Amino acid sequence: MTIYIDADACPVTRIAETIAKKHGIPVTLLCDTNHVLSSDYSTVKVIGAGADAVDIALINLCRRGDVVITQDYGVAALALGKGARAIHQSGRWYTDENIDGLLMERHLAKKARRSGKHHLKGPAKRTEEDDRRFAESFERLLDEAKN
């Protein structure tokens, strides 16, 4: 098992690395050339610029049994299709049962933005509670994945 993190602006990278290290699971951070990262634990893969370059590279690397951390519903759907597990930075697990609804929400939000008639707020500022919720959910996901 490897953990792949769609690390461009991912707020839970360090939390995930700490938990992965405790479990002895390797981590690969993928970012584009605009978000160069460094890590004492993870392998860092810097992917060339391009609209979906990091997403494509992540999906090409992940395999059945791996874990993907992403806020991109499309990446999560592709990871699930390959037999990987996927989790959002909020701690929400992506599953075969909820991914279609999430993709539909994404589609409707994009339509609303394009129409110019609706102003959708961005995400709220991240809190310590958000970090705690992610850490607990990620721990459970890893425990389930190992069993």
Over residues 14-40, the pLDDT tens digits come to: 999 999 999 999 999 999 988 878 999
pLDDT digits (tens, 9 = 90+) for 133-146: 999 999 999 999 98
**Quick one: DSSP state of residue 11?**
T
Tally: H helices and E strands in the chain: 5, 6
Number of domains making up the chain: 1
pTM of the model: 0.88
**Domain range holding 66?**
3-146
Rounded Cα distance between 19 and 34, Å, is: 26
pLDDT digits (tens, 9 = 90+) for 50-101: 778 999 999 999 999 999 999 999 999 999 999 999 999 999 999 999 887 7
Q: What is the CATH number of the domain that holds 56?
A: 3.40.50
* Residue 137: both structure tokens together: 């959910």
